[in-house]
A and B are shown apart, each in its own frame.
Chain A
Amino acid sequence: MEFVFDWQAAFASIPHLLTGIPWTLLISFGGLAIGFIIGIIFGLLRISPISWLRWLATTYIEVFRGTPVLVQVLFIFYGLPQLLGGPINAVVAGIAAIAVNSGAYISEIVRGGVQSIERGQREASLSLGLSRTQSFRYVIWPQAFRRMIPALGNQGIISIKDTSLFSVIGVGELVRQGQVYIATTFNALEVYFMVAILYLVITLSLSLALRMLERKGLVGQ
């Protein structure tokens, strides 16, 4: 049996697949933006001097790192409405799932980044009369953030790929558009190949952008 890859069919699917990209990007970057804010808050709570705050942050991190993102989105989309008494938009559910999931990982990235800054930096800034907030804002955080960039990039790539699972709740993202297209043309091989290529384009662009950002930031290190 001869096996032929139909390039023409592959290329023909592109216009349709592209309609999924805005949703993929919206859910990934929307979720990651919120996840970053969650990560800063819980990452700092995790090293707070107040023990119950530390405990709260640890619990959040363990719960959302220890459960699959698919289960999280199913819980949000199908489970939460029963509590809230109204349906949740699938895109909102997707963004929320990426936010709480990436937020847990980013909390650990933030904690690690802040803890990696030498004690002397804090001591020097406090000894100059800076408040603890100023010391964090002007001295600790800028250095910690730079060290966090590679790990944040990693998490970004993971979260972008995680959005592919959200076809199960009917979000019109990349995988979902592929499935819809295959339902009429039956070119599973070519279409999923193109879907994979499009993910690769997104994740490689992100890697590249971060590498440039990192290089720019290296001057001061």
Chain B
Amino acid sequence: MNDEHSQTPSSPEHSIVSLEKLNKHFGSLHVLKDIDLDVTPGEVLVIIGASGSGKSTLIRCVNGLEEYQKGRLHVDGKELLPYGKSGQSLQAIRTEVGMVFQQFNLFPHLTVKANVTLAPLKVRGMTSQEADTTAERLLERVGIADQADKYPTQLSGGQQQRVAIARALAMDPRLMLFDEPTSALDPEMIGEVLDVMRELAREGMTMMVVTHEMGFAREVADRVIYIHQGEIVEQGPPHEVFDNPRNERTQNFLSRVLQH
């Protein structure tokens, strides 16, 4: 679309995520329409768009939480087949792709530390000592080392979301997906979660972030894409998309959200 503006020349070989003419339907509802998108290693891609435009569906296709019907999808060098037919390679992809959800989705029956060590123990086959060390390091990094033995419900929303980030990072992922990570938080807790994400971006993590935090997008994103009714109608570096949107729909959307 705006090829001359994309900072990162993207070809499938260099991309960590590559979508080619991807189409997704929920029954008769055409949710994603011929999506072409490449994400390069180290890139922070922010996805914006109105409610119901298909942002969540898009990133959930990347780790196979949603099936798609047509097109091609490669993640971390492996192909994800349509109709959920990927079999073993789907689990292999998920092992390398972390995801953070709007509702945190921490495991309430496990302590904070056990939430973080579960996948390293069961999927990576780490010893409990290795897993513990990793968990302590990551909880330290997201600023909640002192809460390790509590249960998720004993923490505030912001703390829970930081645990969820630590839990995903414990798998040492090559790519992180964020689906509105701050939308369920009280306003005073949004900052602490965005700080962790900012830090992660600075360290070079590849990130696909769905968010309504335009300030964060402007500051951290390498590229912003705007989705309207299942189509990417605008993309480019944040200053271009925000300050100089070309598409009328983008202008309308931005004037609505930036007012608040």
Contacts and interface: CB of A to CB of B under 8 A. Distances in A.
Interface of A: 118, 120-121, 123-131, 134, 138-139, 142-143, 146, 219-221
Given A134-B122, A138-B122, A219-B151, A127 B107 contact: no
Interface in B92-120: 92, 94-99, 101, 103, 105-111, 118-119
Contact of A131 (B91, B103, B118, B171): B91
A129 B151 contact: no
Q: Is the interface of A mostly helix, strand, loop or mixed?
A: helix
Nearest to B90: A126
Nearest to B96: A129
A142 B109 contact: yes
Nearest to B63: A127
Interface of B: 63, 65, 91-92, 94-99, 101, 103, 105-111, 118-119, 122-123, 151, 153, 164, 167-168, 171
A124 B151 contact: no
A127 B109 contact: no
Given A129-B171, A138-B118, A121 B105 contact: yes
A146 B111 CA distance: 16
Contacts of A130: 118-119, 122-123
A129 to B, nearest CB: 3
A127 B94 contact: yes
Nearest to A142: B109
A128 B167 contact: yes
B110 A127 contact: no
B46 to A, nearest CB: 20
A123 B65 contact: yes
A220 B151 CA distance: 6
What 6 pairs between A and B have smallest CB-CB spacing?
A: A129-B95, A124-B105, A128-B119, A120-B105, A127-B99, A220-B109
